Amino acid sequence: MAKGIQSIRGFADILPEHLPTWRHVEETARRWLEAYGYAEIRLPALERTELFSRSIGEVTDIVEKEMYTFADRNGDSLTLRPEGTAGCVRAGIQHGLFHNAQPRLWYSGAMFRHERPQKGRFRQFHQIGAEVFGLAGPDVDAEMILMTGRLLASMGLEDVELQINSLGSSEARAAYREQLVAYLAQHEARLDDDSRRRLHSNPLRVLDSKNPALQEIIEAAPRLLDQLDEESERHFAELRAILDAAGLNYRINPRLVRGLDYYGRTVFEWVTDRLGAQGTVLAGGRYDGLVEQIGGRATPAVGFAMGVERIVTLLEESGRQKRAPAPQAYVVVPAGVEAQAHALVESLRDQLPAACLLVNAGGGSFKSQFKRADRSGARLVLVLGEEELAAGRVGVKDLRGDAAQEAVAREDLAEFIRARLD
C-alpha cells in the first residue's frame, strides 16, 4: 500500500504529548529572561544570504554546507536563518536600537541547517537566544552565564557541565593561528578530511573535532589560553572571580572554540554526555566586532542560544517531562438536552475562566459517557439529564473519590466546583 505524504527528513512534527514539556522550557526561559531585564524581539525566518556569510564566516561549515539558500523571483539570494544572533544584530542596526542604549534582547523560533539528522540534531530546530549590546566588561558575561545556570536548573535539567574559555583578541587569535597551523601541518597525514579542509581556512575548528582518532593530536596542540593578550587575561580572570564568588561550578576547556567566526574572548557551553555527539544544550560568548562587521558602529556584545529539542529530549529521557493537565470536569449529556448542556457549560466558563470543562460529543449511553469521562482524567462528572433539568439541578460525581453523587442547584454549581477543585 502506497504511503501518504510524509514530513521532510529532519523536519519533525511536535506532537501533543510533547508540547507540555516544550511549553515548560519556553515559559521557564521567558520568566528568567524577563527577570534579568531582557525584552523580547521577533525576527524574520528569512534574511539576505549576505547577512550570514558576513557574520558567521565564509569558511564555516554552516555557510559552506548547511544553509538553505535560494534565489527569489527578483534574483536576490535569500537564506532561511541558521542561527539568531546575526538577525538580531541586523534588526538592532536597522531600527537604531544601539544608539545611546545598552539593550538586552531575547528571541525564539525555528532555525534551519541542512545537517545529517541524528539524536538531538534536526534540519529544522528551535532555539531560544539572548543578546546584550553596549557592555564590554566581564561582569555582563558572568551575569549571563549565571542566568543560564538558573534557566537550566529551573527547567529540571541535571547532569550538565559548564565549560568556559577565552579566545582572546583578534590579534592574539591571529598569532595563535600561525602556531596552530604549523603544529597541525606536522600531523596532516593523520587528520581526517574535514580537518585537512579546515587546516588553512579555519584551523581553530579542528580543535572542536569530535573524531576520537584526532583527540591525541588535539590534546597536544598549542593552547590559545597561553597566548592571550594582557587585556583578555584580565577579562577572563575577572569573569572567573564572579563565577567563583557566586559558587557556580565550571571547567576551563582550552579546546572550546565555538563554531562561528564572530566570537572573541569569553565563550561558554553547557554540555551533557547523554546526547551522544550532540552534547551542547546551551552555548554562547562575546562577539565585540560583529555589529561593526555587519554595518553598524562598533558595539560590544555577548549572547547565547539554547537548543529546545535537546533540552526537551533530556527532560523526557530522565522522566522529568511535563504532561497536559486533565479537564477539571466532564459533562455527560443525554440525547435531547444538548442545547441546554452547552448553555450551562458556557455560563460556567464565564464564572470559571481558568477551568477546563469537556462536554461529551458524539452521543452514547450514560455508561459509555462515564467511561469517556474516566479516560479523560477528569476529576468531576457533571450529569445534566431531563430530571436534573426539571429540578433546576446538576448531578456531580467525584471520579477520584468515594463520595456519592450529589445534586447541586444550578446557581450554586460554579462555586461548588471551585470549592471541590480547591
Alpha-carbon gap, residue 397 to 101, rounded angstroms: 59
Residue 39: phi, psi to the nearest 5?
-105, 140
pLDDT confidence of residue 178: 85
pLDDT confidence of residue 1: 45
The grid coordinates listed for 211 are 573524531
**Domain spans, the chain:** 19-168+228-317, 329-421
pLDDT confidence of residue 260: 61
pLDDT confidence of residue 196: 85
Amino acid at 279: G
pTM confidence score: 0.88
pLDDT confidence of residue 172: 85
pLDDT confidence of residue 230: 93
Alpha-carbon gap, residue 334 to 370, rounded angstroms: 11
pLDDT confidence of residue 179: 86
Tell me if 115 sits within 8 A of 62, measured CB to CB. no
Torsion of CA 323, 7, 45, 324, to 10 degrees: -10
Choosing among 3.40.50.10140, 3.40.50.800, 3.40.630.30, 3.50.50.60, the CATH entry for 329-421 is 3.40.50.800
Q: What is the CATH number of domain 19-168+228-317?
A: 3.30.930.10
Tens-digit pLDDT string for the chain (422 aa): 457 999 999 999 999 999 999 999 999 999 999 999 999 999 999 999 999 888 776 556 667 678 999 999 999 999 999 999 999 999 999 999 999 899 999 999 999 999 888 777 899 999 999 999 999 999 999 999 999 999 999 999 988 999 999 999 888 888 888 888 888 888 888 888 878 888 777 787 788 777 888 888 888 888 888 889 999 999 999 999 999 999 999 999 988 877 666 788 999 999 998 776 668 999 999 999 999 999 999 999 999 999 999 999 999 998 999 998 899 999 999 888 889 889 989 999 999 998 999 999 998 998 999 999 999 999 999 998 888 888 889 999 999 888 888 899 999 999 999 988 87
Provide long-range contacts, Cβ within 8 A and 24+ apart, for 202-207.
Answer: 202/57, 202/59, 202/60, 202/261, 203/177, 204/167, 204/173, 204/177, 204/180, 204/257, 205/60, 205/61, 205/257, 205/259, 206/180, 207/180, 207/255, 207/257
Helix (H, G, I), strand (E, B) or coil at 352: coil
Handedness of CA 330, 331, 334, 339 (dihedral sign): negative
